Structure 1
């Protein structure tokens, strides 16, 4: 299936695209809200400014995908591979990113308020000026991550690995950083 066929089927009412292979797909600005893309292969896909609200991307491979300014509010990205993905300015409020691979991902200026990042791998990720207020980052790996100027008010960092993390200008008020290493 190609990008055009996916959009035609979505517009026709189909929502289940489990394990679909759309590596390198060109879908900027696409509206796939509420779609089921669990286990999908979307490595290197262009999903800039896409509407992916409430989309199930659990276990999906989005390695190196461009999700700049995409709306992923309430999306399920648990166990997803987002290694090296670009999520700059993306909206991930209330998204489930538990156990997701976000190594060296670019999440600069992303909004992740109340996001679930339990046991997520954010090592080397760029979270500069990201809004992580109320996010659950417990037991997450933030080694060598850039959290400069990030907002972490009321975030849970218990058990998180913060070794070598840049926290310059970060706001941690009211958060739980107990046991963070």
Structure 2
């Protein structure tokens, strides 16, 4: 499916795009809120400034995608592949990222307040100045992650792996 076809169908009220291949697609700034993109291939896609609030991206491939400043509030990203993705300034409050792969992802200044990140892989992820207040990071792998000046106020870190994690200036109230 091409981008123009997806946007035409979305405008016509279609929301289910399960398994669509939009590898390297330019969807910068578009509104796809409420869409179902489960198992979609969006590796390398440009989704910066896109509205993906309440979107289902279960097991979607977003490897290396640019989601900077995107709105993913209350989206479902269970098991999504976000390896090397750019999520700087993204809004992920209340999102479900359980078992997601965020290895070496950039989440600088991202809002992950009240997000579900149980068993997520955040190895070497950059969460500098991210808001993780109230987030559930139980059993998450944060090995070598950068949590410098991150807000972990009331976050659940039970069983999380913090080996080699930079916690300089982190708020841990």
Q: TM-score normalized by structure 1?
A: 0.95
Q: What SS does the aligned partner of 1:9 have?
A: helix
Paired position in structure 2 for 1:97: 97
1:52 aligns with 2:52: yes
Paired position in structure 2 for 1:66: 66
Paired position in structure 1 for 2:146: 146
Q: What SS does the aligned partner of 2:6 have?
A: helix
Paired position in structure 2 for 1:137: 137
Give RMSD over aligned pairs.
0.3
Alignment of 1:1-181 (within 5 A): 1-173=1-173
State the Cα deviation string for residues 122-144 of structure 1 (Å, max 9, x = none). 00000000000000000000000
Question: Runs of 4 or more off by more than 2 Å in structure 1?
Answer: none
Q: TM-score normalized by structure 2?
A: 1.00
Q: Matched residues in 2 for 1:64 and 1:75: separation?
A: 19
Q: Number of matched residues?
A: 173
State the Cα deviation string for residues 37-75 of structure 1 (Å, max 9, x = none). 000000000001000000000100000000000000000
Q: Matched residues in 1 for 2:97 and 2:132: separation?
A: 12
TM-superposed deviation, 1:4:
1.1
Name stretches of at least 5 consecutive residues in structure 2 with no aligned partner: none
